């Protein structure tokens, strides 16, 4: 039987394979800890903390402005993008995507992974 | 709540060997200090009444505050500084937080009390003054701790970030 960690890693592997537009990805806890890290580079700990901060704040703004359930954050940088998906308040899925990525496909695949992660975590 | 401050309180006591060195000295100072309590408390509220902001906060309740201040001062010299002591002092901190008294005032007033105690106890054994300053510092640590925890709680509430995450974020600063 696969461990929870192995299941999470398998979901991330599938997502990464789905489109070359996804550069890195990870799953982070609401405390800002890295649960699974495939982001590349050595910024994991800071990314986990800042990703969790982003998710918390986004959720807070979503509630305050009464725009329904928080779903995702989409940041566009001049060189690449960052996406953050909520996993039912228990975790968040963070992706870095290339400049000019096909966001339609990325979102489709990421939402599938989001559902699978919600069942696993 | 109060947990972070409680841990600091315990660590500060252990660091200074407070229970071993200073706690046993304090009950013996009660009578000496309490002889001057009225004068200290009057000067304390006199100083606050001279500050335009503090004056507004204490206006109309100085007599009641003087009475609570006396009890607070007596308790400094009771000789037991465990959980019950901590809880009472933390509540005093929370009262000041709720009354929206800037922590700056608590700091300057603690400094004022240090000088007042020094004036009285300088004529005694150095251990007396050391013990009185040590308990004042512990009280200040607790009250300031209540302010700190309140700021963390409010920060957490407004950002939606849990306190552990806030601590982690600060560790990258
Ligand atoms: C080391 C400094 C201080 C000590 C030891 C002290 C002590 C106390 C104590 C024992 C109480 C009663 C707490 C309770 O009923 O739970 C109290 C209440 C109060 N203190 Fe202080 N105090 C200090 C500084 C100050 C300062 C600087 C101010 C004003 C600028 C202030 C204003 C008040 C007020 C307004 C209350 C009543 C709050 C309320 O019941 O709404 N205190 N203080």
Per CATH, the architecture of A4-120 is what? 2-Layer Sandwich (3.30)
Q: Which of A52, A59, A63 has the CB atom closest to B165's CB atom?
A: A52
Q: What is the pLDDT of residue A2?
A: 85
pLDDT in tens, B94-120: 999 999 999 999 999 999 999 999 999
Q: Which chain A residue lies closest to B164 (C-alpha atoms)? A: A31
Q: Which sign, positive or negative, has the C-alpha torsion A7, A12, A13, A18?
A: positive
pLDDT in tens, A33-69: 999 999 887 777 889 999 999 999 999 999 999 999 8
pLDDT in tens, B31-54: 999 999 999 999 989 999 999 999
pLDDT in tens, A60-115: 999 999 999 898 999 999 999 999 999 998 999 999 999 999 999 999 999 999 99
Our measurement of the distance from residue B20's CA atom to the centroid of its chain's CA atoms, rounded to an integer in Å, reads 21
Using a CB cutoff of 8 Å and minimum separation of 24, what contacts does B129-135 make? Answer: B130/B22, B130/B25, B131/B21, B131/B22, B131/B23, B131/B25, B131/B26, B131/B29, B132/B26, B132/B29, B132/B33, B132/B76, B134/B16, B134/B18, B134/B22, B135/B18, B135/B22, B135/B26, B135/B76, B135/B77, B135/B81
pLDDT(B1) > 70: no
Which residues from chain B sit within 8 angstroms of residue A32, using beta carbons? Answer: 164-165, 168-169
Q: What is the pLDDT of residue A43?
A: 78
Q: Which residue has the higher pLDDT, A22 or A2?
A: A22
Which helix (H) or strand (E) segment holds residue A86: the answer is strand A80-87
| Contact indicator for A96, A81 with CB cutoff of 8 Å | yes
**pLDDT above 90 coverage of chain B, percent:** 93
User: What is the arithmetic mean of pLDDT over B71-87?
Assistant: 96
Residue boundaries of the structural domains of chain A? 4-120
Instruction: Delineate the domains of chain B, giving CATH numbers in brackets.
Output: 3-171 (1.10.490.10)
Residue carrying structure tokens 């990805």: A25
């Amino acid at each position: 039987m696969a461990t929870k960690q192995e299941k999470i890693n398998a979901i991330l592997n599938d997502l990464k394979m789905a489109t070359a537009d996804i550069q890195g990805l990870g799953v982070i806890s609401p405390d800002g800890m890295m649960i699974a890290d495939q982001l590349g580079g050595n910024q994991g700990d800071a990314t986990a903390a800042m990703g969790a901060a982003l998710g918390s704040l986004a959720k807070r703004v979503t509630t305050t402005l009464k725009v329904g359930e928080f779903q995702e954050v989409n940041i566009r940088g001049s060189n690449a993008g960052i996406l953050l998906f909520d996993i039912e308040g228990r975790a968040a899925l963070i992706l870095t995507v290339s400049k000019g990525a096909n966001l339609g496909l990325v979102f489709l695949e990421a939402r599938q992974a989001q559902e699978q992660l919600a069942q696993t975590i | 709540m109060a947990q972070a401050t409680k841990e600091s309180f315990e660590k500060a006591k252990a660091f200074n060997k407070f229970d071993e060195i200073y706690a046993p000295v304090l009950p013996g100072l009660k009578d000496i200090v309490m002889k001057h309590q009225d004068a200290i408390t009057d000067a304390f509220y006199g100083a606050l009444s001279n500050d335009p902001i503090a004056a507004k906060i204490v206006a109309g309740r100085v007599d009641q505050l003087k009475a609570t201040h006396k009890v607070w001062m007596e308790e400094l010299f009771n000789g037991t500084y465990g959980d019950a002591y901590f809880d009472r002092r933390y509540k005093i901190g929370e009262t000041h937080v709720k009354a929206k008294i800037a922590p700056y005032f608590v700091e300057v007033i603690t400094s004022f009390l240090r000088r007042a105690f020094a004036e009285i106890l300088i004529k005694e054994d150095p251990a007396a003054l050391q013990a009185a300053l040590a308990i004042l510092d512990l009280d200040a640590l607790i009250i300031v701790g209540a302010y700190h925890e309140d700021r963390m709680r409010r920060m957490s509430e407004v950002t939606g970030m849990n306190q552990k995450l806030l601590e982690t974020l600060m560790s990258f600063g």
